[in-house]
């Protein structure tokens, strides 16, 4: 059912792109729009992971440079029945994670140093299991295609608004129709994009719970990340708002315009999954914006040091 819904929504997004092309350029515009969509998706298919990782200045790690984190991802990938993905760390305080790549054989997962320093080992496992769930469900390719088409619709609408503004040959009625099209199309694309994204997030949460075997840890991690993601600046998301849809928890976006379901609803769904798995539900879910000390954190540094406490999964040794 989820796959059918996603296919229908993708078709609707492509049809919207063609309709906008037809409004702005007639039948020739529709054909050009379709060809442009196909070309962009082909380019995205081969290059999306490189673009995303470069955007975040992510650095690849291995069993020597970040043994705890790398081995954790390796164990989870084995449990999920997936090839070992490339593993990256983003040197950023904002806690978050994402997956990218066109298929499981070419996948990559990334986490910020802020996330690794803040969460316990079980919580990090829950987060990375969620990202591997995206890989297993092939959401990484789907969401990249969606973002590409939605972005193209916005660019085409801006192009049409700029050039149609001085077009008087089509008459007043055509001008109004074109103006409505270039205004409505980006909003319609955003709604379709959100519908697809929210469906895939619930699926990845369920997959993450199954892969890690600990839905409570993922629920706890979501609550912690949500609190900190709103408080700590994320320079990449601020420069490129579309990047927010990649993260396990989006940053600084209201629920109405978010590509993700509300964190509280995701946590409630995970608690239902825990009950189905026979695990006791969480007594309470942490909601404080202040991060708790990691269960893996050793003794704090001397009081005179300004360095934060270090997690055993923190590759920077902070």
Catalytic residue, candidates 131, 169, 238, 255? 131
What domains can be seen in the chain, in order of their start residue?
46-144+175-276 (3.30.2010.10)
CA atoms within 13 A on the CB side of 248: 39
The number of beta carbons lying within 10 Å of the beta carbon of residue 262 is: 12
pLDDT in tens, 290-310: 444 443 333 233 344 344 444
DSSP label at residue 105: G
Which ranges of the chain have pLDDT less than 70?
1-7, 9-10, 41, 144-145, 147-152, 154-156, 158-186, 188-193, 195-196, 237, 240-244, 251-259, 279-318
pLDDT for the residue 287:
35
pLDDT for the residue 78:
97
pLDDT for the residue 186:
66
pLDDT for the residue 293:
42
- The 3-class secondary structure across 151-199, one letter per residue, is HHHHHHHHHHHHHHCCCCCCHHHHHHHHHHHHHHHHHHHHHHHHHHHHH
pLDDT for the residue 310:
46
Where b means 16+ CB within 10 Å and e means fewer, 273-290 reads bbeeeeeebbeebbeeee
Task: Report CA Rg, the chain.
Answer: 21
pLDDT for the residue 189:
66
Cβ proximity of 10 and 145 under 8 Å: yes
**In what side-by-side order are the strands of the sheet with 97-100?**
59-61, 86-90, 108-112, 97-100
Active site residue 264: no
pLDDT for the residue 198:
75
**Crossing angle for the helix pair 121-136 and 171-212, to the nearest 10 degrees:** 130
- pTM, two decimal places: 0.72
Token duo for residue 118:
């803040």
Instruction: Name which of 103, 107, 105, 104 is nearest 87 in CA terms.
Output: 107
**Crossing angle for the helix pair 139-164 and 2-55, to the nearest 10 degrees:** 80
């Amino acid at each position: 059912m989820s796959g059918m819904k996603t296919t229908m929504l993708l078709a609707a997004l492509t049809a919207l792109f063609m309709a906008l092309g037809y409004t702005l350029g007639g039948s020739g515009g529709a054909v050009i729009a379709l060809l442009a969509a196909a070309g962009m998706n082909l380019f995205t298919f081969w290059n999306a992971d490189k673009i995303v990782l470069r955007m975040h200045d992510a650095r690849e790690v291995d069993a020597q440079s970040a043994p705890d984190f790398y081995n954790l991802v390796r164990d989870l990938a084995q449990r999920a029945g997936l090839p070992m993905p490339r593993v990256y760390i983003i040197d950023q305080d904002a806690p978050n994670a994402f997956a990218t790549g066109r298929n499981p054989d070419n996948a990559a997962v990334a986490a910020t140093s802020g996330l690794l320093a803040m969460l316990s080992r079980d919580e990090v496992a829950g987060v990375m299991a969620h990202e591997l769930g995206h890989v297993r469900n092939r959401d990484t390719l789907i969401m990249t295609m969606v973002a590409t088409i939605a972005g193209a619709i916005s660019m085409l609408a801006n192009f049409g608004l700029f050039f149609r503004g001085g077009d008087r040959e089509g008459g007043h009625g055509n001008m109004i129709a074109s103006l409505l099209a270039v205004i409505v199309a980006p909003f319609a694309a955003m709604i379709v994009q959100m519908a697809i994204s929210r469906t895939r997030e619930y699926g990845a949460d369920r997959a993450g719970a199954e892969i890690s075997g600990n839905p409570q840890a993922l629920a706890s991690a979501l609550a912690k990340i949500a609190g900190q993601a709103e408080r700590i600046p994320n320079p990449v998301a601020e420069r490129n708002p579309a990047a927010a849809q990649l993260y396990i928890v989006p940053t600084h976006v209201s629920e109405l315009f978010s590509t993700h379901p509300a964190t509280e609803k995701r946590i409630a769904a995970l608690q239902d999954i825990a009950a189905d798995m026979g695990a006791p539900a969480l007594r309470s879910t942490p909601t404080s914006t202040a991060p708790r000390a990691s269960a893996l954190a050793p003794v704090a540094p001397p009081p005179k040091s300004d360095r934060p406490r270090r997690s055993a999964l923190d590759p920077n040794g902070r």
